[in-house]
Structure 1
Amino acid sequence: MCEREKEKVSSALLSDMQSFAITTDGWTSRSNCSYVSLTVHYINKDWEMCCHLLETAKIMTDHTAPNLAAGLKDALERWKLPLGKLSAAVTDNVRNTCLALENLDVERIGCFAHTIQLGVQKAMDLPEMSKAIGRAKRLVSHFNHSCKSSYVLHSKQRDLKHDEQYLIQSVPTRWNSTYYMIERILKQQQPLFAALIEIHKSDLMPSEITAMEAFISVMKLIVRITEVICGEKWVTLSGVRPLMYKLTVKHLVETPSDSRLMKQMKRVLLTDLQSRYTDLSVREILYQACLLDPRFKSLSFLSEETKQSVMLAIEEEAIVIANLAATKEERNESGSEEPAPKKKKSKFMSLLEDVWEPEVRANPEERAKKEVKKYLCIDSDPEQKPLLWWKQYSSQFPVLSKLAWKYLCIPATSVSSERAFSAAGHVINSKRSCLLPEHANMLVFLAQNLK
Structure 2
Amino acid sequence: MVITAHFIDDDWNLHKRILNFCQVANHKGDTIGRAIEKCLEGWGIDRLFTVTVDNASSNDVAIAYLIKKFKGRNGLVLDGEFIHIRCCAHILNLIVSDALKDLHVSIIRIRNAVKYVRSSPARLQIFKDFAKEDKMSTKNCLTMDVPTRWNSTFTMLDGAIKCQKTFERLEEHDPSYLPKDDIPTTEDWE
* TM-score, length-scaled by structure 1: 0.36
Per-residue deviation at 1:91?
0.9
Alignment of 1:167-246 (within 5 A): 167-200=142-175, 201=177, 203=180, 204-207=182-185, 209-213=186-190
Inter-CA distance 173–143: structure 2 relative to 1 (3 Å threshold): same
- Secondary structure class of the residue paired with 1:125: helix
Structure 2 letter corresponding to 1:75 = C
- Secondary structure class of the residue paired with 2:95: helix
Query: Which residue of the partner structure matches residue 77 of structure 1?
Result: 41
Query: Which residue of the partner structure matches residue 150 of structure 1?
Result: 124
Alignment of 1:266-305 (within 5 A): none
Per-residue deviation at 1:37?
1.2
Per-residue deviation at 1:212?
4.8
Structure 1 letter corresponding to 2:46 = P
Query: Which residue of the partner structure matches residue 28 of structure 2?
Result: 64
Can you give the 5+ residue segments of structure 1 that lack an aligned partner in the other structure? 1-35, 214-451
Per-residue deviation at 1:113?
1.2
Aligned alpha-carbon RMSD (Å):
1.8
Partners of 2:93 and 2:167 in 1: how far apart? 29
Pair 1:110-2:86 in alignment: yes
Pair 1:162-2:136 in alignment: yes
Partners of 1:79 and 1:196 in 2: how far apart? 60
Inter-CA distance 48–144: structure 2 relative to 1 (3 Å threshold): farther
Q: Tell which structure's C-alpha radius of gyration is larger.
A: 1
Partners of 2:132 and 2:49 in 1: how far apart? 55
Query: Contact 2:24/2:31 (CA < 8 Å) preserved in 1?
Result: no
Moved over 4 A (4+): none
Query: Which residue of the partner structure matches residue 349 of structure 1?
Result: none
Per-residue deviation at 1:48?
3.0
- Secondary structure class of the residue paired with 2:45: coil
Inter-CA distance 148–134: structure 2 relative to 1 (3 Å threshold): same
Query: Contact 2:164/2:189 (CA < 8 Å) preserved in 1?
Result: no
- Secondary structure class of the residue paired with 1:124: helix
Per-residue deviation at 1:44?
2.7
Per-residue deviation at 1:164?
2.8
- Count of matched residue pairs: 172
Query: Contact 1:193/1:205 (CA < 8 Å) preserved in 2?
Result: no
CA offset digits 1:178-229 (Å, max 9, x no partner): 111111111111122112222222635310x43554xxxxxxxxxxxxxxxx
Query: Which residue of the partner structure matches residue 312 of structure 1?
Result: none
Query: Which residue of the partner structure matches residue 99 of structure 1?
Result: 61
- Secondary structure class of the residue paired with 1:150: helix
Alignment of 1:2-21 (within 5 A): none
Pair 1:139-2:104 in alignment: no
Query: Which residue of the partner structure matches residue 125 of structure 1?
Result: 101
Higher relative contact order (CA 8 A, sep 6+): 1
Partners of 2:10 and 2:116 in 1: how far apart? 54
* TM-score, length-scaled by structure 2: 0.82
Partners of 1:39 and 1:57 in 2: how far apart? 12
Per-residue deviation at 1:93?
0.4
Partners of 2:137 and 2:12 in 1: how far apart? 43
Query: Which residue of the partner structure matches residue 267 of structure 1?
Result: none
Per-residue deviation at 1:88?
0.7
Structure 2 letter corresponding to 1:187 = K
CA offset digits 1:407-428 (Å, max 9, x no partner): xxxxxxxxxxxxxxxxxxxxxx
Partners of 1:212 and 1:162 in 2: how far apart? 17
Partners of 2:188 and 2:113 in 1: how far apart? 15
Query: Contact 1:169/1:181 (CA < 8 Å) preserved in 2?
Result: yes
Structure 1 letter corresponding to 2:132 = R
Pair 1:40-2:17 in alignment: no
Can you give the 5+ residue segments of structure 2 that lack an aligned partner in the other structure? 68-79
